[in-house]
Amino acid sequence: MKNSAQSDQLSATDWLDQGLKTLSESGFTALKAEPLAKAMGVSRGSFYWHFADVGAFHSALLKRWREVATEQIIASLERSPEGEIPINVLLRRAFGGSRFTVEVAVRTWATVDSAARAAVQAIDRRRLSYMEGLFVAQGYSPAAAQARAQILYWAFLGFTLSERPLPKPRQEEIFAELIRIANTPA
């Protein structure tokens, strides 16, 4: 175990980041104080210093997921260099080849937990709304923006939940087609 000076330095964010890691590696059933504390080399008391109970931790964890999986991405898109097409930057990031293990883990958790399900539904609405706004800013009608955002989001979810990744050349061909679809005038 870490000494008390080290455990005093753990923040709620440290616990939440460990929770996201544990969630992606071991699933939602591993989101308990004892295994998390053991993984971090501290006592459970450190966990309870930051969270009233496991339920409060789960709630904070879902908020942290929203922050890192949506809000930070949107904030970085808002800082994109002049001349970059934000939807293209977003698609490049979303289909950049990395596996979304936390995304899959949270969506799996949402099949059995109403709070996780509500968090997933809220994130889906936030992401779709943001994408619609990007398309409207490019001059698409609200109806066309909504349709394009939904189609591309479905493609993202399919990509994310797919267990068999495509070979890199095929993935790049599909990505190029998604960019073409996203930018074809309505």
Q: What percent of the chain has pLDDT over 90?
A: 68
Distance CA 181, CA 185 (A): 9
Task: Name the pLDDT band for 99 (thresholds 50, 70, 90).
Answer: low
Average pLDDT, the chain: 90
Tens digit of each residue's pLDDT (9 = 90 or more) over 49-69: 999 999 999 999 999 999 999
DSSP, residue by residue, 130-151: HHHHHHHHTT--HHHHHHHHHH
Indicate the pTM of the whole model: 0.88
Output the CA torsion sign for 94, 153, 75, 51: negative
Which residue is listed with tokens 């295994």? Answer: 35
C-alpha 81/C-alpha 66 separation (Å) is 24
Q: What is the pLDDT of residue 98?
A: 64
Domain extent, residue 124, equals 4-183
CATH number at residue 174: 1.10.357.10
Return the structure tokens found at 57.
Answer: 């931790």
- In this predicted structure, the answer to whether residue 106 has a pLDDT above a threshold of 90 is yes
- How many structural domains compose the chain? 1
Rg of the chain in Å (alpha carbons): 19
